[in-house]
Amino acid sequence: MAKAQEDILALAVVIDQHLTDTGGLPASLAAIGRGTLRDPWGRSYEYLPLIDAHARGHARKDHSLVPLNTDYDLYSKGADGESAPPLTANRSRDDIVRANNGRFVGPASSY
C-alpha cells in the first residue's frame, strides 16, 4: 500500500508539471511517459482528467457523492483489482486514491 501511495504522489508531480509547462492536463499517463507503470498488484494506475462534463460524470466520489477532485482522478484499484466511483462501495474500500486535489493520498477506507 505504501508503494502505491508513493507512486501516486510521484505521478501527481509529473502531471502537475505537465500542466504547468503546457497549460493542460495530459490525456493519459502514456502521454507523460508513465503508461507502463504498475501498482504493487501488477495493474495500471487509473487516471481521469476531469476537463469536461462527460469525464466529471465518471469521477470518483465521497460518501456524499461529491467528486473527490476537481482537476483529475488518480488511483490504484487496490489488491482486489475492482473499483466503483463511490468510495463507499465495498469494491472501492481497498483502493489507493488521490483526493482533495492532492491534499490526500491514501486508502479509500481512510478518506
Lookup: cell for 59: 469521477
pLDDT at residue 55, rounded to an integer:
76
pLDDT tens figures, 10-29: 999 999 999 999 999 999 99
CA 43 from chain center: how many Å?
13
- Residue 32: give the domain boundaries: 2-110
Structurally, the chain folds into a number of domains equal to: 1
Res 2 pLDDT > 90: yes
pLDDT at residue 15, rounded to an integer:
98
CATH number where 75 lies? 3.30.700
pLDDT at residue 93, rounded to an integer:
95
pLDDT tens figures, 51-65: 876 777 789 999 899
- 60: alpha, beta or left? (left if phi > 0; alpha if psi -120 to 50): beta
pLDDT tens figures, 74-84: 999 999 999 99
How many helices and strands in the chain, by DSSP H and E? 2, 4
Res 9 pLDDT > 90: yes
pLDDT at residue 57, rounded to an integer:
77
pLDDT tens figures, 84-108: 989 999 999 999 999 999 999 999 9
